[in-house]
Structure 1
Amino acid sequence: MPAPLTGVLFDVDGTLVDSTYFHTLAWWHAFRRFDHDVRMNAIHRCIGMGGDKLVDSLLGAERDKSQDQEVMDTHAAVFSTFWPHLRAFDGARDLLSRSRDAGLKVVLASSAREQDLGALRAALGADEVVDAATSSADAEESKPAPDILVAALKAAGLEASEVLFVGDAVWDVQAAAALGITTVGVASGGYSGAELTDAGAAEVFDSPRDLLDGFEGSLIGKRLAA
């Protein structure tokens, strides 16, 4: 029997807030600034990785690594111009509220920069039901390493055995699996349900709204009822 469910960790970018394609465009501009011609679809496939690993994956080992920080800083600067356009996905706020009303701790296990996290939380508008949150400053190594989830557990006083993780990217699933945490996938960030399932997600919903509507029959609801 699994341990009683006492909390849910939520990824934010692409899971609760519609930001994936803003990140894709911001990375494209950052690469072009330094004359790297990287296709947007290739960038999109890496969204959800930590920025350092995304750059490494897309530009390869033979690049001029001295530019890496400037590339990442450019991405951050361009992404910040999209802050006013960030929107929570339909049902995202209510999903967090439903989880909290069920007696669960609600944790935003985000690896966004602190400044970006502020904009994401403002778009989400659910701070009153959030028990803890993390940012990139809380992780030594970025996803798919599990550091940010370790930090999220610590911030909320939870154990891996008593939580589920809700995420939208294959990197989320891999990070959670490293800690033995089951992932409930949402296909709102551009990864398909099949990709999330193949990566190891235990179940997949199309969106936060679909997970909210199916809450009682989801793994979250079933673990609560067990």
Structure 2
Amino acid sequence: MERAAVFDVDGTLVDTNHLHVVTWWEAFRQAGHDVPMHAVHRAVGLGSSDLIAHLLGEDRDREQDDALSAAHKALYGQYFDRLPALPGAGELLRRLHHDDWTVVLATSASGSELGALRRAIDADDAIADTASSDDVQQGKPAPEPVEHALELAGAPASRAVFVGDTVWDMRAGAKAGVRCVGVLCGGIPRADLEEAGAQAVYADPADLLARLATSPFA
């Protein structure tokens, strides 16, 4: 029976969360919205539509949503050729692949953005598949992205570990019934990750790799 190692990407494997904060902040600013950066940071990890709804509320002018998403995409796209992988990201995926885990990415990114993230990680030889935002009806914190990743891996929830950096990741993984591992490199506090369902928390991929033998992957 397959074992699935499911990974969020932004803030977990690639150091992009603060780029998202700045580019979303600028997109909101251009549209006339004063949204504090700390609030944007807490919303990173949600899909575009959910992030906008979370920050502007349900009573917002929804006709602006597409323009806001497009502005963020254009601003963030300026960084595609220099997105930095987090320490140990590629090495961790290769080690798990070597240890017979089926590695699947579960991310709200798609298209050229996903391609840029995969180039940054530089571990395509270890990645079996990707569950992107194009593949599901509801993004995190709904369990659907993680459940779809398990389907792609051919593994049950009882033989899966999900690694992420936000409370949205932990909630999605907990709802999907998998073991959840948090990393601090996305900027979310340990206590918040644990409260949302993280069974273990590490500094970054390199820290998880160094302590793999005593982690939920053991």
TM-score, normalization by structure 2: 0.96
2:105 counterpart residue number? 108
Is the CA contact 1:167–1:184 (under 8 Å) kept in the aligned structure 2? yes
1:224 counterpart residue number? none
Is the CA contact 2:2–2:154 (under 8 Å) kept in the aligned structure 1? no
Unaligned runs of 5+ in 2: none
C-alpha distance in structure 2 between counterparts of 1:63 and 1:168, whole Å: 28
C-alpha distance in structure 2 between counterparts of 1:193 and 1:99, whole Å: 24
Give the letter for the 1:189 counterpart. G
Is the CA contact 2:7–2:104 (under 8 Å) kept in the aligned structure 1? yes
- Indicate whether 1:68 and 2:65 are aligned: yes
Measure how far apart 1:5 and its partner are: 7.0
Measure how far apart 1:85 and its partner are: 2.4
Q: Aligned match of 1:159 in 156, 159, 162?
A: 156
1:37 counterpart residue number? 34
Give the letter for the 2:39 counterpart. A
Instruction: Provide the identity percentage.
Output: 43
C-alpha distance in structure 1 between counterparts of 2:132 and 2:60, whole Å: 28
Measure how far apart 1:112 and its partner are: 0.8
Q: Which moved more, 1:5-14 or 1:89-98?
A: 5-14
Q: Which moved more, 1:116-125 or 1:71-80?
A: 71-80
2:23 counterpart residue number? 26
TM-score, normalization by structure 1: 0.93
Per-residue displacement from partner, 1:140-191 (whole Å, max 9, x unpaired)?
1121111211221222222222111011100000001111111011111010
Q: What is the 5 A alignment of 1:180-199?
A: 180-199=177-196
Q: Aligned match of 2:84 in 83, 87, 91?
A: 87
- Indicate whether 1:14 and 2:7 are aligned: no
C-alpha distance in structure 2 between counterparts of 1:103 and 1:70, whole Å: 43
Question: Number of residue pairs matched?
Answer: 218
1:120 counterpart residue number? 117
- Indicate whether 1:214 and 2:211 are aligned: yes
Is the CA contact 2:181–2:198 (under 8 Å) kept in the aligned structure 1? yes
Is the CA contact 1:193–1:206 (under 8 Å) kept in the aligned structure 2? no
C-alpha distance in structure 2 between counterparts of 1:76 and 1:34, whole Å: 14
C-alpha distance in structure 2 between counterparts of 1:107 and 1:96, whole Å: 9
Measure how far apart 1:119 and its partner are: 0.2
Cα RMSD (Å) of the superposition? 1.2
Large movers: runs of 4+ above 3 Å: none
SS in structure 2 of the partner of residue 165 of structure 1: strand
SS in structure 2 of the partner of residue 191 of structure 1: coil
C-alpha distance in structure 2 between counterparts of 1:114 and 1:152, whole Å: 17
Q: What is the 5 A alignment of 1:43-58?
A: 43-58=40-55
